[in-house]
Amino acid sequence: MNQFSVSEFTTYHLSIEEEIDLFLRMGITGIDIAERKLSLDLEIARVQIEKVLAAGLIVTGFIPRVHALLPDSLNPQILDLKVREEAFRNSLSFVGSIWPKNPPVVLTITGAANNLDYKSAMEHIEGAYVRLAKCAQDFGITIVFEPLNPIMMNTDTVICTWSNSVKLASKIGADNFKLVFDTWHIWDEYEIYSQFINTLDLVGTVHVSDWLNPGPRSFADRGIPGEGEVDWVTLAKTLKTSNYQGPIVLEIFSSDEFPDSLWQRSPSEVIEISREFLENTFGLMK
């Protein structure tokens, strides 16, 4: 049975307290925490997390405030790569302090090469991930790396395919370095579901949203599952065949600039439509 979970990016405009209330009313038991929604004061942030846990919610993932090792669209102003790595390391320490046992996975992306050439960018992230995986291991944490769609190559990533992510994981060579299978980012990669089955041991979590037809207006223009181009039937068969038991996380980025923004719709409506579709497609979830 898979854990159905909702990313805080889906409920972007809600406070943590509002999310707790909504999730309890809807019977949702899983949440991916976005650190940028927590207080910068670590003690207050700790209290916020404790409220989530006290409500009985299971934290299925943690997205650091700075989760890219190179500059990205969420933190473009931080250009010092040492500062970025240290920020990620601090997030690992925070997670480790909250969860001395069974911590959630911690998500990461590369960021964009910008002024670095591809070779230099890859050398940097490979070295940094080796160091960070060792740091995470001390806390019992698994880092999960997410390849992003090619439309984000100039802003957020140097790795855009599942196959190249597998190569990265092989170079890192750490048991606690795994991958994020995100439908929006890699839905149309060649033989992606065959790749999924053959690399199941590397899958740390699954994110779901849909790719709108004829295409997104930005990276923050994603669809409710079932309303776009993703081959959900094949994905469902693949998950069943592979016996994937991890979380299925609803992660829908949107933008208030769009007149039909999903962030402007009722969060409960967006979640319920998504959950009903996923339940009907994938089967029983908790």
Residue labelled with tokens 């920020």 = 87
**10-residue stretch averages of pLDDT, the chain, 286 residues long:** 93 97 97 98 97 98 98 96 98 97 97 92 97 98 98 95 98 98 96 94 97 93 97 93 93 95 97 96 79
CA dist., res. 180 & res. 247, Å (int)? 11
Other beta carbons within 10 Å of 112 = 22
CA atoms within 13 A on the CB side of 255: 9
pLDDT score at 284: 66
pLDDT, position 250: 98
Question: Which domains does the chain show, CATH number per domain?
Answer: 4-282 (3.20.20.150)
Contact at 8 Å (CB) between 27 and 4?
no
Burial 140-155 (b: 16+ CB within 10 A, else e): ebbbbbbbbbeebeeb
Cα separation, 39 vs 57, whole angstroms: 19
Q: Give the pLDDT score at 115.
A: 83
Q: How far apart are CA 103 and CA 107, in angstroms?
A: 12
- Number of C-beta neighbours around residue 209 at 10 A: 28
pLDDT at residue 222, as a whole number = 97
Q: Where are the alpha helices (DSSP H) in the chain?
A: 16-26, 42-54, 81-98, 118-138, 162-172, 183-186, 192-198, 232-242, 267-282
- Could you tell me the two tokens for 114? 């910008």
Give yes or no for a contact between 148 and 108, defined as CB atoms under 8 angstroms apart. no
pLDDT of residue 1: 74
pLDDT at site 2 = 86
